Amino acid sequence: MGRIKTMVALPLPKLPSEISILQSLALDLRWTWSHEGDALWSYVNEPLWERTHNPWVVLQSTPAERLNSLACDQKFLDELSTFVAARERYLQTPGWFRQTHAASDLGGVAYFSMEFGLGAALPLYAGGLGVLAGDFLKTASDLDIPAIGIGLLYQEGYFRQIVDTEGAQQEFYPFNEPAAMPIEPVVLPEGGWLRVSLELPGRTVLLRVWQAAVGRVKLYLLDSNDLLNTPPDRGITAKLYGGGTEIRLMQEIALGVGGWRVVDRLHPEIEICHVNEGHAAFAIIERARQLAVKENINFWEALWATRAGNVFTTHTPVAAGFDQFHAGLLRKYLPYVEGDVAGRGVRMNDVLALGRANANDDHEPFNMAYLALRGSGMCMGVSRLHGEFSRRIFQTLFPRWPSCEVPVDYITNGVHVPTWDSAEADRIWTEACGKERWRAPLIARCENMTSVSDEELWAMRGKGREGVVKIARRNLARQLRERGADSETVQMADAALDANVLTIGFARRFTEYKRTNLLLRDQERLGRMLLNESQPVQIIVAGKAHPADLAGKSMIREWIDFAHQPRFRRHVIYLEDYDLDLAQHLVQGVDVWINTPRRPWEACGTSGMKVLVNGGLNCSILDGWWDEAYDHGLGWAIGDGGGGAIGRVDALDAESLYDLLEREIIPEFYDFDATGLPRNWLKRIRRSMYELTPQFNGARMIREYVEKAYFPLSRSIRSRMNEHCANAKAMNQWSRSLHMRWPTLHIGNVTINRNGESWNVIVPVYMGEVIPSSVQVELFADASNGLDPEVVLLHQEQAIPGSNNGYVYAGAVATSRPSDDYTVRVVPHHPDVFLPSELPLISWQR
């Protein structure tokens, strides 16, 4: 990065030399997770900071007189000096990765995502996928991982929400002014502002490249809003998930193809391409295409080389959620792949086959997730349960393979804890566990939290609840004013909620499977809980529905109608335009976070993780991360995780939720002793904090990616790229040869005999034209009756007399399982190939 210069998009007021460092500080998004930064920017211009939470805008809009006065304000200069020194220590002190691993262990990671949620000042996200991506970059910075992010800079981004007086959601798309965002153009000494080009039908589109500093990590953002492009092409990066199918395809080409061209231009040292969801999967094709051209090899040899450096994280819980495009669109937009490596073994039909379950079905749409999985050395789900269901989703790509062996592993998501903790929670954790606690993967529980007194924990919870009540009242008053409410109604917002009352938080995307209205199934019963004089309850609700999701919008209206009933106005608030800023306040203040998805549709659901550090508790369906985390002493589980008809499950889950609230949650919260403290509630808080926060934080997640994916893939791609991709070429040839010869192989009659505690197995295998060393003969038993799947390797005993390439294989397995559980099979074998993901051949005994 030393050869890249940067320039400021919009001139700032001239800063006095004493405070000129503020410009650099404003452009480092580390302030999104620094409580010291909050105080610093608030001191510069408190009204602007409270309104925008954007230091870049604060500097642009603060009068010169104020800036000059700050240059003479010794208190501010001292605070600034302290903050600058802390930032320098952060940037210069080696983090976990550099302390633990040699720099040569990993060339670098390029993390591709359609959206990034880093802060309210950079609105390039729609929901959980983007927030997870933002937390990933922040955690990578904390851990000192050699990583970069690749995304798109949207002119409008995702919509902003207003709810009208009738309770109907209205969508607005304010312009994202780049000059007001904490980003800079990437400027190269030899060529000015960096642009990468895309070959689209009949023209070349230019993508400008911007960068954002995220502590130690750079995020590169591409946008098509260049005057050198035609007006329609300038709109390619207009809206996040906006426009029709063709615009969406062009966005994903811009992200994947354009993004990898940025990697190649600025960071050729990158070894790992991490595709966060299938949107960016075209990076896999572009990476292979570039290598084919550079090494003068064919496309498939290049794919065998580069695939070893790709990892795909799938977040989608159902197959219908994957992006799919008609083959005609792909033929229109991807001919450059075929043309650029013409004569090197690639045809468009072969490329299309990478995104299809049936390569020969020209009517099957092109599936981006299929491309991502087939083009990656490893595929990860985002929770244990999601990994299990993802194996079923991708089963179609591995015909005849057991679902337990479909090559989808999982790494449960984690959140960047410093982004979500309150100042008070941060103080308590620092005193108990040290300042560096989240800058290393905490494997053990933070036992020191057990020494924090009940009084201190309850005071923290009180401050958090007071803070969220204040924010909720302020936002409610603004909403009422903007709807034209009279002054008396607006003033009533100051009486909404009570900082001493059990506060439930419920905030997420409003869509049918999340069942955001489950709590409203019995409104009279809920009303009795809310209005109980001795044990009252209050609820803060927030969330958006997709503009085309009429069912989700109806759920919003249902909550608003409920909240507008006069008897509930002090107890229920719906806050519009749910964003990162509002989310931070909610997770810091609510007592209980409720999540009610329809199992197993919540792939992970990280929102509930964000309350942990602040002493919030979870009450959720056993889905996603909560299926792993739940223990009776840590929170509450809604329902029993069972299935059945949708209506029946919904009714049972609603009944379970009401019972939990009435019989456990509300009574325990109000079970005060003589000193006014709910000791059992605090015991539960303490356990949740020290057991779950370290487990579900981003440092643990990234450590797992480093050790389970990045390191093995890094070693593999280096091996395949050596000597002008000699190993990759050999693997490609091995795969093609084995695939062609596979039909000549067959398995003879199996003999299984009991020998004491073991089954002895003998089977003749006729290899036909298959080389025996390229396969393994195995005995397989699937999971059954509580027993795990088993794979037993059979050994070649002798050649079969009179046969051509036939051999007897034998083995024994000590087990009490019946012989009918076991089946003989033949599978490919290569010590350096990812199987079955790279070659899903398999033969079973008849």
What phi and psi values does residue 165 have, to the nearest 5 degrees? -65, -20
Cα R_g (the chain), whole angstroms: 29
Q: How many CB atoms lie within 10 A of CB 358?
A: 11
CA distance 808 to 460: 71
What whole-number distance in Å separates Cα of residue 14 and Cα of residue 67? 9
The H or E element that residue 113 is part of is: none
**30 vs 45: CA distance, rounded Å:** 19
| Dihedral sign computed on CA atoms, order 708, 711, 714, 718 | negative
At residue 44, the pLDDT reads 95
Phi, psi dihedrals of residue 275, rounded to the nearest 5°: -95, 110
Q: Which fold has domain 96-413+705-725?
A: Rossmann fold (3.40.50)
Give the model confidence (pLDDT) of 307-344 as tens digits: 999 999 999 888 888 999 999 999 888 876 656 654 55
CATH class of 745-844: mainly beta
List of E strands, 418-501: none
Q: Can you list the residues of the chain whose pLDDT is less than 70? A: 1-11, 336-345, 441-445
Say if residue 641 is exposed, middle or buried (CB neighbours under 10 Å; 0-12, 13-18, 19+): middle
Quickly tell me which residue has 């009490």 as its tokens. Answer: 816
Question: Given the DSSP bridges, would you call strands 806-814 and 822-828 parallel, antiparallel or unpaired?
Answer: unpaired
Coil, helix or strand for 132?
helix
Give dist(CA 57, CA 120) in Å, integer.
12
SS3 297: coil
* Cis status of the peptide bond prior to 600, with omega within 30 of 0: yes
Distance CA 180, CA 10 (A): 8
**CB-CB contact of 550 with 558 (8 Å):** no
What's the pLDDT score for residue 336? 67
Cα 515 to chain centroid, rounded? 21
The C-alpha angle with vertex 678 and arms to 672 and 682, in degrees rounded to 5, equals 175
pLDDT at residue 203 in the model: 92
How many Cβ atoms are within 10 Å of 1's Cβ, its own excluded? 9
Question: Using CA atoms, how far apart are residues 402 and 406, in angstroms rounded to an integer?
Answer: 7
Taking each helix axis from N to C end, the angle separating 454-482 and 679-687, rounded to the nearest 10 degrees, works out to 90
Domain 439-695 -> CATH class: alpha beta
Give the H or E element holding residue 407: none
Could you report how far apart the first and last alpha carbons of the chain are, in Å? Answer: 59
CA distance 718 to 711: 11
State the residue for tokens 């000699």: 726
Torsion 134-139-140-142 (CA) sign:
positive
pLDDT the model gives residue 4? 47
Residue 435's pLDDT is 82
What pLDDT does residue 624 have?
A: 94
Instruction: Give the up-direction half-sphere exposure of residue 206: CA atoms within 13 A in the CB hemisphere.
Output: 11
Instruction: Give the Cα separation of 818 and 833 in Å (integer).
Output: 33
d(C-alpha 240, C-alpha 115), whole Å: 8
Question: How far apart, in Å, are the Cα atoms of 372 and each of 273, 307, 369, 811?
Answer: 11, 10, 5, 38
From-to residues of CATH 2.60.40 in the chain: 745-844
Count the Cβ atoms, other than its own, within 10 Å of residue 626.
28
β-pair partners for 380 = 313, 409
- Residue 1's pLDDT is 38
Percentage helix, strand, coil, to 5, in the chain? 45, 20, 35
* Predicted pLDDT of residue 699: 94
Computed from CA positions of residues 796, 797, 799, 801, in that sequence, does the dihedral angle turn out positive or negative? negative
Burial profile 3-23: b = 16 or more Cβ within 10 angstroms, e = fewer: ebeeeeeeebeebeebbeebe
CATH 3.40.50.2000 domain locations along the chain: 96-413+705-725, 439-695
Separation CA 136–CA 156 (nearest Å): 23
Distance between CA atoms of residues 420 and 245, nearest Å: 35
Distance CA 302, CA 788 (A): 38
Closest CA to 638 of 606, 661, 604: 661
Q: What would the pLDDT profile of 775-785 be if each residue is shown by its tens digit? A: 999 999 999 88
Rounded Cα gap, residues 416 and 182, in angstroms = 20
As beta bridge partners, residue 402 has: none
Residue 535 DSSP one-character state? S
